[in-house]
Structure 1
Amino acid sequence: MVKTKILVSACLLGENCKYSGGNNKNEKVIALSDKFEIIPVCPECFGGLPIPRVPSEIKDGKVYSKNGEDLTEAFMSGAEQTLYIAKEANAPCAVLKENSPSCGFGKIYDGTFSGNKIDGNGITAQLLFDNEIQIFGESQTDKLRYLYE
């Protein structure tokens, strides 16, 4: 049986690519490999950002590091590379890290580095969504299993 290919934020799979140098390993996400062919992605790494790196948030449509550096171009580059992979794999959906300036979908941090969240999407999540790729956060894995069974 051929498994449907899906993109998954590499940090959720235990890859140490998070801004802090750690990961966001999530066993429910990892368990998706039973039903899907998982393609790990890290748009921030694809965009050339180092590990570890200064935290970033979106403010006024641009991505800034906590020290004020405009990283929008790196985030856009990583998003475009992620979209290319999604199209090459014919992946109908992606499981992405919630609240991230790259991967957040529905809620992201507000750009003040205070922990406050606002309605919005990360750079990669928005680009994938605009290209008809369905986005799920790590808390929505049960919904994903239901839709693609």
Structure 2
Amino acid sequence: MQKILVSSCLLGTPVRYDGTGQKLVHPQITTWQSQGLIIPLCPEVAGGLSTPRAPAEIRHDKVITNADEDVTAAFRLGAKKALQLCMSHNIRFALLKESSPSCGRNTIYDGSHRGIKVAGMGLTAALLERNGIKVFSEVQMPALLKALASC
């Protein structure tokens, strides 16, 4: 079985911007953990951001906090570290947190900090996909399981 990169927050680790986790409860996660197949990572923390931190959204190809601070460099560094981790572990699949400016697979927030979601990908999800790593969000567990079964 292959190792899988998983957003740390989905494992319950309190690394989200608000200092919480958002644990994904799924029996397959428990199985993968017991088999040592999960490689956890929070790209934002890996990029040097603290927990908690100001909420950030993608606006015009930059990641901007609700206080208008440009944190793009930290998000890009975290994305590069995620890719390096995948390459070093020969990871071909990732399970990332939807709507995050790092990990969003299908949706991200629109950059206005008003809670409006739009179609788009976070920086880490996009970098991984560009490098051949299949990215799934927590709402796509069935698709991830199907993809893994076909390997």
TM-score relative to the length of structure 2: 0.93
Number of residues of Structure 1 aligned to a counterpart in Structure 2: 147
**Whole-angstrom distance in 1 between the partners of 2:29 and 2:56:** 26
Query: What are the Cα deviations for residues 45-72 of structure 1, in whole angstroms up to 9, with x where unaligned?
Result: 0010000000000000000011000000
1:138 — aligned with what? 138
Q: Is 1:6–1:36's contact at 8 Å kept on the other side of the alignment?
A: no
**Whole-angstrom distance in 2 between the partners of 1:83 and 1:32:** 24
2:119 — aligned with what? 119
Structure 1's unaligned 5+ residue stretches are none
CA drift of 1:148 comes to 1.2
- DSSP-derived class of the 2:95 partner: strand
Query: Alignment RMSD, CA only?
Result: 1.4
5 Å matches for 1:1-149? 3-28=1-26, 30-31=29-30, 33=32, 37-149=37-149
Opposite residue 21 of structure 1, the aligned amino acid is G
**Cα distance, 1:32–1:56 mapped onto 2, change above 3 Å:** farther
Opposite residue 131 of structure 2, the aligned amino acid is N
Q: Is 1:7–1:40's contact at 8 Å kept on the other side of the alignment?
A: yes
**Whole-angstrom distance in 1 between the partners of 2:119 and 2:49:** 25
**Whole-angstrom distance in 1 between the partners of 2:116 and 2:31:** 30
Structure 2's unaligned 5+ residue stretches are none
CA drift of 1:31 comes to 3.3
**Whole-angstrom distance in 2 between the partners of 1:19 and 1:114:** 16
Identity of aligned residues (%): 44
**Moved segments of 4+, more than 3 Å:** none
**Whole-angstrom distance in 1 between the partners of 2:129 and 2:60:** 20
TM-score relative to the length of structure 1: 0.94
